[in-house]
A and B are shown apart, each in its own frame.
Chain A
Amino acid sequence: MTAEREKLVLIGNGMAGVGTIEQILKLGGAYDITVFGSEPHPNYNRIMLSYVLEGSKTIEDIILNDHQWYEDNHITLHTGTTVIRIDENNRQVVTDTGLSVHYDKAIIATGSNSFILPVPGSTKEGVVGFRDIADCDAMLAAAKQYRTAAVIGGGLLGLEAAKGLVNLGMDVTVVHLLEDLMERQLDRTASSMLQAELARQGVKFAMGKQTAELTGEERVTGLRFSDGSELPAEFVVMAVGIKPNVQLAKDSGITVNRGIVVNDYLQTSMADVYSVGECTEHRGTCYGLVAPLFEQGMVLAKHLSGVPTPGYEGSVVATKLKISGVDVFSAGEFTETAEHTVISAKDEWKRTYKKILLKNNIIVGAVLFGDVTESASLQKLVKQATEMTDEIYGEVMGTGCCGGGGAKKGLSVEAMADEEIVCGCNGVTKKAIVDAVTENGFTTVDEIKACTGATRSCGGCKPVVEQILQFVLGDSFQQSAKQGICSCTPLSRDEIVAEITAKGLRTTKEVMHVLDWKQPEGCSKCRPAVNYYLGIIYPETHEDEKESRFVNERMSANIQKDGTYTVVPRMYGGVTTPEDLKRIADVSLKYDVKVVKVTGGQRLDLIGVKKEDVPKVWEELDMPSGYAYAKSLRTVKTCVGSQFCRFGTQDSMEMGAQLERKYERLDMPAKFKMAVNGCPRNCAESCTKDIGIVGNDGGWEVFIGGNGGIKPRIADAFCKVRTDEELVEVCSAVMQYYRETGNYLERTSEWVERMGLEHIQSVILGSDDNRKELAARIDFALAQVSDPWKKMLDDNSTRTALFEQTRV
């Protein structure tokens, strides 16, 4: 028989209380646990009610611990049950349903209630707070039935409620007593920028208005303000503040000020009764955000589990508004007084604002608007009361060099204590994240999110989680966090390619089976990659697997967000003819193409073709596919060149067309772009192309590894050649070497940096034999390709299966 365990009773089934219990379970605290909650639901993430309202989450989505969790952990849960008294003498909690339960230790975590303005009419139908699922349901229901709403209160909650109701189609006015929104977190400048942004998103404002009365009979019809003016509203949300829910503590004789008074170990005035969360007052402060609650819960959990811990010393709070497209952040002190030194930068064009407050050169607060990338570092600096230095200044005000900034950030993560909470919303410590990464080999924030819950709620901690990830995956951690091409396998690209060759594996299925993939048929990342590697290794025999191709490649057209497709015919070197243009125009008219667009690569996009029309459009265009969807040669951009240009020394149009004809259709690790210029004026912009070619008096100059996309990079000068034949041979060799050594989806810009420019030069320019062999291999592979549009038109059953839509 096991010894009788102590009885722990939690009153309040919310974020702070259950967070504490979770920590106690982790620490192995030996208690028999009973939980009481007034709401009929298991523990959910209150923060995310804003997302439920906005429509991006459902109530189901925000449940943190379902009934099964309580069962699995042998916790007795009483939902829909309110505790009305703690009986100190008999050590019992008493509920409104007539239960009495013995406790050895009790935790009060009753949270807060919405503060309802004590004005006439505030109890009318159609007036709600914004606190729990019931309020949220009421708002969702109101939006179906009514048009106009008023939200009283321009703080975090009020604004999120207002945006949610706007999304639900209501006409919403935010009524605010003061002239500044979120005046408790933002200074005047940030606040007016915020108001302007929200106004653009459709929220109306009535600022500086004091509500005197809610009008209407049974149901509310509007607001009357103290200045006599009125605002009609069929629905009213009160979001003017919260008040700690201390009724139970008061009724039980526990010392209460604004909140339930506790010491640094969260002890109340009653023996063995503790309190955490919004109902608590610590050193004179009641908190209304989750991060402090988790910090309190952590201390309490340790205390109750017999793990030594320093006491709780209060929290620095930081706020982030959860409205898409509106980035606001504030931490610590934000209103400037004579004591403060203020560093600020406002950019009205980019609509960003940044302010840092110093007191005796110590960083004590910060406000960011529009661009919150620095929020994580600033929050730390404020939290640790860091002294301002030239270095920090350079880093956070953006005048330092970017390289230095990055290194610094890594360091600050390194200096962070293991137990420090990174994700305040979900109470996830640095250590939990580091462990998740090292033990499971995670490499993405999403994986960390799925495992630890960090970043799951407001998302404010994402930058720090990313920094920790970077820090852990840095060189010294490389071995413990071995990372394959995706989560299906620990093998790297090179290992997979080596195994395929050594074992003679022929299909993706075989590869995944023999190499012991975690998911037998792979995922959307590795299937296309393995299919590509097989194609490179067996250019002649590998049968391309349509089912392993991303939709665009499978359909040979680009899918758009509405499910229609874009069709792009080839235009070699960006040159077309009046006859072709006429055909394109005719087909576009016939099939009701929505937009004809000239692309950056000098050709025409026919946007908005219906799926079932795609084959007919090809057939009638009767032009080769432009491969705008493919990981292969997209375009060869050309300038006018010697044919017409007064500066041109080389025939760029002709050379561009020749190269495009030669290399079209061939699979590459990623999309591939080229440019050819007739002279060094470089009108076709070869510096941002995978291969850029510039003509000069004595021949051509070749550049490689340029990119104008997500990670722009200027191409490196690769070599100079004299003749057209040499040019083609160099291009062939570079492209084939990239095909053979590139990681799937790796652009040449990354490839050149990974392999090193000198290395590639030595392989291709250092040995004539090498270069010729590479060129021969690409020619062999090129001999195997054919136009997919033609092929598809000849293959009835595939075409029907892919494009036709049956009606039954």
Chain B
Amino acid sequence: MELSSREYAVGAADDFMLQIGRVVNAGEVELAIFRTSDGAFYAVENHSPHPKGGPLAEGIVSGYYLYDPLHDWKIDLRTGEVQAPDRGQATVHPVTVDGGVVKVSLPEAVARL
């Protein structure tokens, strides 16, 4: 199967506060976008990998890690991997910043779901 991806401009870099997540709906996907203290951007699907789910955007950000606001799971923003002792995987998508515009690229299949 051919997997193409599509880029979504989700806002100007300045719209994002450091270490405070923001929710953006791109196509059918709800994203939580984070800007870490070094200015880098990360996009995670706004759904906790915890069995009980819940949003991620409101978590506390520390370095490249996010603390799930409802369950306090520690999630690596770069890979989506849940840190020990918990296990799980959040879905992350690549982000680029282009002339002050933040862009997230989503696989077409996901974007069209």
Per-position contact with B for A493-528: 1 when CB-CB < 8 Å, else 0?
000000000000000010000000001111110011
Q: Considering only CB atoms, which chain A residue lies closest to B17 in the complex?
A: A801
The yes or no answer to B72 lying at the interface (CB within 8 A) is yes
Chain B residue numbers with a CB within 8 Å of A547 are: 17-20, 60-61
How many Å from the CB of B77 to the closest CB on chain A? 12
Name A559's contact: one of B23, B69, B74, B88 (CB within 8 Å): B69
- Complex Cα spacing A523 to B63, Å: 9
Chain A residue numbers with a CB within 8 Å of B54 are: 561-563
Q: Considering only CB atoms, which chain A residue lies closest to B22 in the complex?
A: A801
Chain B residue numbers with a CB within 8 Å of A446 are: 85
Chain A residue numbers with a CB within 8 Å of B74 are: 523-524
Q: Considering only CB atoms, which chain B residue lies closest to A527 in the complex?
A: B60
How many Å from the CB of A795 to the closest CB on chain B? 11
The yes or no answer to A312 lying at the interface (CB within 8 A) is no
Name A61's contact: one of B18, B19, B59, B87 (CB within 8 Å): B87
Question: Residue among A447, A456, A550 with the most chain B CB within 10 A?
Answer: A550
- Complex Cα spacing A56 to B87, Å: 10
Contact A805 B25 (CB under 8 A): yes
- Complex Cα spacing A550 to B61, Å: 11
Name B11's contact: one of A548, A798, A806 (CB within 8 Å): A806
Question: Residue among B26, B54, B65, B69 with the most chain A CB within 10 A?
Answer: B69
Chain B residue numbers with a CB within 8 Å of A563 are: 54-55
Chain A residue numbers with a CB within 8 Å of B60 are: 523-524, 527-528, 547-550
The yes or no answer to A546 lying at the interface (CB within 8 A) is yes
How many Å from the CB of A640 to the closest CB on chain B? 39
Q: Considering only CB atoms, which chain B residue lies closest to A798 in the complex?
A: B17
Chain B residue numbers with a CB within 8 Å of A546 are: 17, 20
The yes or no answer to B24 lying at the interface (CB within 8 A) is yes
The yes or no answer to A808 lying at the interface (CB within 8 A) is yes
Chain B residue numbers with a CB within 8 Å of A57 are: 87
Contact B37 A521 (CB under 8 A): yes
Question: Residue among B16, B18, B19, B26 with the most chain A CB within 10 A?
Answer: B19
Chain A residue numbers with a CB within 8 Å of B22 are: 801-802, 806
Contact A561 B62 (CB under 8 A): no
The yes or no answer to A555 lying at the interface (CB within 8 A) is yes
- Complex Cα spacing A500 to B105, Å: 44
The yes or no answer to A65 lying at the interface (CB within 8 A) is no
Residues A560-574 near B (CB distance < 8 A): 561-563
Contact A808 B10 (CB under 8 A): yes
Chain A residue numbers with a CB within 8 Å of B72 are: 524
Chain A residue numbers with a CB within 8 Å of B18 are: 547
- Complex Cα spacing A808 to B74, Å: 28
Q: A561-B52, A561-B54, A562-B54 are in contact. Are A521 and B87 (CB under 8 A)?
A: no
The yes or no answer to A359 lying at the interface (CB within 8 A) is no
Chain A residue numbers with a CB within 8 Å of B88 are: 61
How many Å from the CB of A250 to the closest CB on chain B? 40
Task: List 13 A–B pairs whose Cβ atoms lie within 8 Å, in order of A's numbering.
Answer: A523-B60, A523-B67, A524-B67, A527-B60, A551-B59, A554-B20, A554-B58, A559-B58, A562-B54, A801-B20, A806-B11, A808-B8, A808-B26
A56-B51, A61-B88, A806-B10 provided; 16 other pairs, C-beta below 8 A?
A447-B85, A509-B37, A521-B37, A523-B62, A523-B74, A547-B20, A547-B60, A548-B60, A551-B59, A559-B58, A559-B69, A559-B70, A561-B54, A798-B17, A808-B11, A808-B26
